């Protein structure tokens, strides 16, 4: 079976073709970062206009790079939430038009579930059951979720961010530090030159103990952002001669985020065989290394999504549909954008097929 995946939930316009395996035949992503950079974050109006302009060409390139005829495609899978309403609508319109015109089956995909499944793509295309049950951490620009994935592929969310997402904390911190957008790569780059112990930033919800109603698996990053703001107010950076101190602050700020993510990802484990790591923030080398080192010292494997499948991409959207996941049996007239689509519980893509 061949699935065409389409992803337009935020500021990446992406299309991919995936065959059984899952084997990624092509994966094309147009990043809109250049268009949003002047504003220090994603502007929904600009994002949807860019999707309108870029989507046809991106889909066309994905089909050509796979070396297939349009007739070879069986299914078109598209993200229908969560995400920006105006961005989701463009991908949905494109997918519906293709379903109607070419007779493809239409499948709606939950963007976060696709991020979770992305750990099993590319070089990681190993039998998922080997890694289960697992703890999973999905960290992106809009979401931070800690999950439990059972042996049968069913998953349930244990905790999430109460305010800013981890990626948002990087993006906002970067703007405060004058490093621009997107913040994750900018902070990571500068942090390499700095001392992560220079400033002790707060670790939100760190000390919550187990128990009913506990925030043990939830995250909060908004206090960290405020602490950075106050630190700079009380210790202003001078113009150019302060590169070193700026690097120390970036490293300490990154350290606070990584410390909380790794601490919570590995807390309260019992029979889990691995920790799965996915989403745009999973590109962070410090997070990947720290999680791996700390988990492996405790005999737990870490399976992090391949770098090319961490950020938003359409291969993860197609792969989910290929395995039998997603919302099926909906006609082009019935599938709507769900900007606040929940990610509380469900079954991973591979489970339907192998159960
Ligand atoms: O998953 P993603 O591409 O889009 C969403 O679904 O949100 O994640 C984008 C987020 C942005 O906040 C970006 O700053 C962050 O991922 N990010 C990083 C790194 N690369 C991207 N955060 C930390 N370190 C990185 N190297
Ligand atoms: Zn994403």
Share of the chain above pLDDT 90, in %: 83
Tell me the C-alpha distance between 180 and 171, whole Å: 8
Per-residue pLDDT reduced to its tens digit, 249-262: 999 999 999 999 99
Provide the pLDDT for residue 208: 66
Provide the pLDDT for residue 21: 87
Per-residue pLDDT reduced to its tens digit, 9-46: 999 999 999 999 899 999 999 999 999 999 888 999 99
pLDDT greater at residue 109 or residue 123: 109
Look at residue 323 and tell me whether its pLDDT is greater than 90.
no
Q: How confident is the model at residue 84 (pLDDT cuts 50, 70, 90)?
A: very high
Provide the pLDDT for residue 27: 98
Atom of ligand 1 nearest to the CA of 312: 3
Angle at which helices 183-191 and 243-265 pack, to 10 degrees?
110
Atom of ligand 1 nearest to the CA of 83: 6
Per-residue pLDDT reduced to its tens digit, 54-75: 999 999 999 999 999 999 999 9
Q: How confident is the model at residue 213 (pLDDT cuts 50, 70, 90)?
A: low
Rounded to the nearest angstrom, the distance between the alpha carbon of 279 and the centre of ligand 2 is 6
Task: With CA atoms as reference, report the closest residue to 16 among 3, 27, 29.
Answer: 27
Rounded to the nearest angstrom, the distance between the alpha carbon of 278 and the centre of ligand 2 is 9
Rounded to the nearest angstrom, the distance between the alpha carbon of 354 and the centre of ligand 1 is 32
Q: What is the mean pLDDT of residues 181-204?
A: 95
Task: With CA atoms as reference, report the closest residue to 209 among 199, 200, 218, 201.
Answer: 218
Which segment of 121-130, 216-225, 255-264, 304-313 scores lowest on mean pLDDT? 121-130
How distant, in Å, are the alpha carbons of 163, 236, 332 from that of 306?
A: 27, 39, 32
With b for 16 or more beta-carbon neighbours within 10 A and e for fewer, the 247-271 pattern comes to bbbbbbbbbbbbbbbbebbbeebee
Q: What is the mean pLDDT of residues 237-266?
A: 91
Residue nearest to atom 1 of ligand 1 (CA): 280
In the chain the first and final C-alpha atoms are separated, in Å, by 19
Mean predicted lDDT score pLDDT of the chain? 93
Element (H, E) at 99: helix 85-102
Tell me the C-alpha distance between 181 and 192, whole Å: 18
Q: Which of 280, 285, 291, 309 to mutate to test ligand 1, by most ligand atoms within 8 A of the CB atom?
A: 280
Task: Report the pocket of ligand 1 as residue ranges, CB < 6 Å.
Answer: 10, 140-142, 167, 170-171, 182-185, 188, 279-281, 283-284, 311-312
Look at residue 146 and tell me whether its pLDDT is greater than 60.
yes
Look at residue 353 and tell me whether its pLDDT is greater than 50.
no
């Amino acid at each position: 079976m061949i699935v065409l995946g389409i992803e337009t939930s935020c500021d990446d316009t992406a299309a991919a073709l995936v065959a059984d395996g899952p084997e990624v035949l092509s994966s094309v992503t147009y990043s809109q970062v250049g268009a949003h950079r002047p504003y220090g974050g994603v502007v929904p109006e600009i994002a949807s206009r860019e999707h309108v302009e870029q989507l046809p060409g991106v889909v066309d390139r994905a089909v050509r790079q796979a070396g297939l005829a349009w007739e070879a495609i069986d299914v078109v899978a598209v993200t229908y939430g969560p995400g920006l309403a105006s961005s989701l609508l463009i991908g949905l319109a494109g997918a519906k038009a293709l379903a109607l015109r070419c007779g493809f089956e239409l499948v709606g995909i939950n963007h976060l579930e696709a991020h979770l499944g992305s750990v099993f793509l590319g070089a990681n295309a190993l039998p998922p059951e080997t890694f289960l049950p697992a703890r999973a951490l999905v960290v992106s620009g809009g979401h931070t979720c800690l999950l439990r994935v059972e042996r049968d592929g069913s998953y349930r969310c244990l905790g999430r961010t109460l305010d800013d997402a981890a990626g948002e904390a990087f993006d906002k911190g970067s703007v405060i530090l004058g490093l621009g957008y997107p913040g994750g790569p900018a902070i990571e780059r500068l942090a390499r030159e700095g001392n992560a112990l220079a400033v002790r930033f707060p670790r939100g919800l760190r000390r919550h103990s187990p128990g009913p109603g506990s925030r043990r698996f939830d995250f909060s990053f908004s206090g960290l952002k405020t602490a950075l703001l106050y630190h700079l107010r009380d210790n202003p950076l001078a113009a150019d001669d302060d590169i070193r101190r700026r690097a120390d602050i970036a490293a300490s700020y990154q350290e606070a985020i990584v410390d909380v993510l790794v601490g919570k990802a590995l807390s309260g484990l019992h029979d889990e065989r691995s920790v799965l790591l996915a989403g745009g923030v999973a590109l962070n080398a410090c997070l990947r290394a720290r999680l791996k080192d700390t988990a492996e010292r405790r005999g737990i494997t870490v399976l992090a999504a391949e770098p090319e499948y961490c950020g938003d991409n359409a291969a993860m959207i197609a792969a989910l549909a290929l395995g039998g996941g997603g919302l099926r049996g909906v006609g082009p007239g019935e599938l709507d954008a769900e900007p606040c689509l929940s990610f509380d519980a469900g079954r991973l893509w591979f489970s339907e097929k192998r159960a």
